[in-house]
Structure 1
Amino acid sequence: MKESGRRRGLWPRPFDGLWLLGSALAFALIDTGLFLASGPSPGALGPYAPLVLQLVCDFSVLLLLRFPAQVAGFLVVAALAMLASDLFSPGLLVPAVQPTLMTVPTITPVVLSQAARLLDRRRLLWLAGVLALLATRPWNPAWNTTPFGLLATALPVAVSMYFEARRQLLRSLRDRAERAEREQHLLAEQARAEERRRLASEMHDVVTHRLSLMVLHAGALRVTSADEGVRSAAEDIRREGAYALDELRDLVGVLRNGANVEPPPAAPAPVGDPAELVAGSVAIGVATGLSVTGDPATVSPTVARTAYRVVQEALTNVRKHAPGSSAEVSLRYHPGGLDVAVTNTRGTRPPDPALAGSGSGAGLSGLRQRVELVGGRLEAGPAPGGGFAVGAILPAYVPTKEGLPR
């Protein structure tokens, strides 16, 4: 790990300053106790020179997170000075009668334990090796020097390196798991997109072709037939087929995840007007109101067709499952899209079993899939008072290649 010289301030977090200050105070108390136990020093630098050196080393840890290499270097210099004093001038920087035989500052374990995550591996090993050499005195091994020297130098480094390696391993495993999850998600999305393109190709090559032939044959029959009834029926077939062809092409474009094309300047006529559905509902005896706000021209034909299907399915369910109820249809056009709401009151008569059981039971489920396909959201459920509510939030525009006017 690189040296952390890029950090601003002495401590990255306030908590770091607190525990470093606590460590410095704790070791300052230990050093003061050891100094009092050994007595003042008779050296030329004064009686308190050993204590001052230890206290300076103790409080240097406050700079450790900001200047780790400099603090470690100062610790090595202090250890060399202590060793030289012990060998050549006892009492100068170490007590003449030492309670311990360690010739490294007592704060050394704290500095080395933090250096494992603050310094690169090579610099850390050099630092630990020099301090271990000074602390253990291999040229003069003793049972009360070598073991304690290793405990103060090698052990903190080994433990810190183990936990640092473990932390890096866990982070690496977590990153790999997240990357594998993202790759799996991308593969699933790719598979879905490929399946959508395959379905779109099948619909375009087979269904659209057959439907186009049907529209052409109906148009030809309307022109050539001498019977007015046949011509009228042929025109109805041709018109509904053309509407279905437009809607199918829109659906193919959405399945293909159409390109980012601009919306057409003049939108084609939608598959139907929700007002006609409301009028039809009123005509069969269901009291149905309609509220429209905003400009219908702000939404694309694909969205308008989807809204039409929402209203159609909701009013069909009202007739099937809530006879004798009243319904309210609300269409709110705004720059962000279209909000559709269809609510009905509680039915006053039991539903006709034959009519209620005539559907497949998948109307709302299919409708939700249709709404989500264009990027919208559908909600359906019981309403207060015992009725039912269906609501859809649709975008203003769905880019498709197939839905443009020809």
Structure 2
Amino acid sequence: MSSVAARLAAWWHSGSRWPAVLLDAALIAVAGADLWFNRMPGNWWDDAVLVAGVLALAARRRFPLAVFIATLPMPLLMGQSAASLIALFTVACSTRNRWLLSACALVYAALTIAPWWGGSDILSESAWPVWGVYSLAPAGAAVLLGQLVQTKAELSRRLEEISEVREHEQALATQKVLAQERAHLAREMHDVVSHQVSLIAVRAGALQVSTEEAASKEAADTIRTLAARTLDELRYMVSVLRAGGGAGNGLAPQPTLDQLGELVDNAGMGAELEKGPLPELSPPVQRAIYRTVQEALTNARKHAPGAAVGVQLTQDDGAVLAEVVNTAPKRPAVPLPSAKHGLIGLKQRAELLGGAFEAGPTNTGGWRVALRVPLKSMS
């Protein structure tokens, strides 16, 4: 039984449109049953208005306030109305405006009392509290339940954002530790091994000059040649260790601009890529642009939830410009600690390529990240 419930819960939260369709159909059926059993005898046009109010619930997700207004004649014609309460609940799920929700609840309560207005019972002093509770309690319950559902949805989104940010922070921490180990190994190779191999090459060259024996000269020349080749290999290995900062051991294929579109599409937010004509870019420049866009998209998702992001890659004034601009956040960001190591690393990448890196707020409340690399550094 628990496995069936788990499967139903997974299907309900799978993102399919059918759970919402079935729920709307069930609510329309409930509102229709309420109309059938509780409607008052009236003219045919009254019945048409009541049926139209029930059928309007089909559009409650797209036009919650309009649907609520469309159902307002129902409490006026039949008293308490399930369709109006469902529409009021939908309005409460879609807004945090307390003044609007209070006004909707009061209007519904007033229209519920209106059919009995002028009777002796409602005008009596002792009946006012009863009629007030009878009218306002269902409306207040619908509003509070809608606010509760909205709060639950927002908390779920926040938890997902926190999980994504924590995973990203963990990946950055792992990359930082790997980069430190690689830098330490590169220093050891440069300071110790390279120094000793250089001494071997120097001593072999001195021996080749000072000795008169042909065999010794040949052996010294071989040692000096091998030492020089070893130094070249060491320099290359040191450069690889210092440049590598990604996951794993740095020997996996590095990202290129061909993968930039996939990165933007999978950013998990409203991001668009504009890519102009570009010259042939060297692999280090392509990696720097890719990492800059990647870090900017991550920061936008982290600090500006709901914002739109524009990624632009163009050739400008003798340089290649990669620019990422996001609008102001649509909802409050989750406060998380940040040491800004990502931006520092991007600035260092730009300096190694002879370029410039900028990051700062925009005049509209958003954020801008830009990397400019001169063409002379791309050969």
Q: TM-score, normalised by structure 1?
A: 0.49
Shift of 1:61: 0.9
2:34–2:81 contact (8 Å) kept in structure 1: no
Q: Residues of 1 paired with 2:170 and 2:244: CA distance? A: 24
Ranges in structure 2 where 5+ consecutive residues have no aligned partner: 1-15, 115-121, 254-281, 285-351, 353-379
3-state SS of 1:226 partner: coil
Choose the corresponding residue for 2:188, options 185, 189, 202. 202
Q: Residues of 1 paired with 2:163 and 2:21: CA distance? A: 34
Q: Residues of 2 paired with 1:105 and 1:374: CA distance? A: 67
The correspondence of residues 6-405 of structure 1 with structure 2, limited to 5 A, is 13=17, 15-35=19-39, 40-41=41-42, 46=43, 48-76=44-72, 78-79=74-75, 82=76, 93-94=77-78, 103-122=79-98, 123-135=100-112, 141=127, 145-257=131-243, 372-375=249-252
* Most deviating of 218-227 and 120-129: 120-129
Instruction: Specify the structure having the higher radius of gyration (Cα).
Output: 1
Amino acid in the other structure paired with 2:232: D
Greater relative CO, 1 or 2 (CA 8 Å, sep 6+): 1
Shift of 1:56: 2.0
* Most deviating of 15-24 and 165-174: 15-24
1:109–1:152 contact (8 Å) kept in structure 2: yes
Shift of 1:152: 2.7
Q: Residues of 2 paired with 1:178 and 1:111: CA distance? A: 34
2:197–2:231 contact (8 Å) kept in structure 1: yes
Q: Residues of 2 paired with 1:14 and 1:258: CA distance? A: 48
Residues 256-279 of structure 1 deviation map (CA, whole Å, 9 limit, x = unaligned) = 1179xxxxxxxxxxxxxxxxxxxx
Identical counterparts, % of pairs: 27
Q: 1:139 to 1:226 in 2, by over 3 A?
A: farther
Amino acid in the other structure paired with 1:217: R
1:116–1:161 contact (8 Å) kept in structure 2: yes
Q: Residues of 2 paired with 1:150 and 1:108: CA distance? A: 13
Ranges in structure 1 where 5+ consecutive residues have no aligned partner: 1-11, 83-92, 95-102, 260-368, 377-396, 402-406
Q: Residues of 1 paired with 2:34 and 2:73: CA distance? A: 21
Q: Residues of 1 paired with 2:129 and 2:51: CA distance? A: 27
Amino acid in the other structure paired with 1:163: V
Residues 301-325 of structure 1 deviation map (CA, whole Å, 9 limit, x = unaligned) = xxxxxxxxxxxxxxxxxxxxxxxxx
Shift of 1:68: 1.4
2:54–2:71 contact (8 Å) kept in structure 1: no
3-state SS of 1:66 partner: coil
Amino acid in the other structure paired with 2:32: A
Residues 77-131 of structure 1 deviation map (CA, whole Å, 9 limit, x = unaligned) = 554xx2xxxxxxxxxx45xxxxxxxx34331221122222223433233312332
2:92–2:101 contact (8 Å) kept in structure 1: yes
Shift of 1:139: 7.1
Shift of 1:221: 0.7
2:68–2:87 contact (8 Å) kept in structure 1: yes
Q: 1:72 to 1:30 in 2, by over 3 A?
A: closer
Q: TM-score, normalised by structure 2?
A: 0.52
Amino acid in the other structure paired with 2:154: Q
Q: 1:147 to 1:258 in 2, by over 3 A?
A: closer
Q: 1:163 to 1:69 in 2, by over 3 A?
A: closer
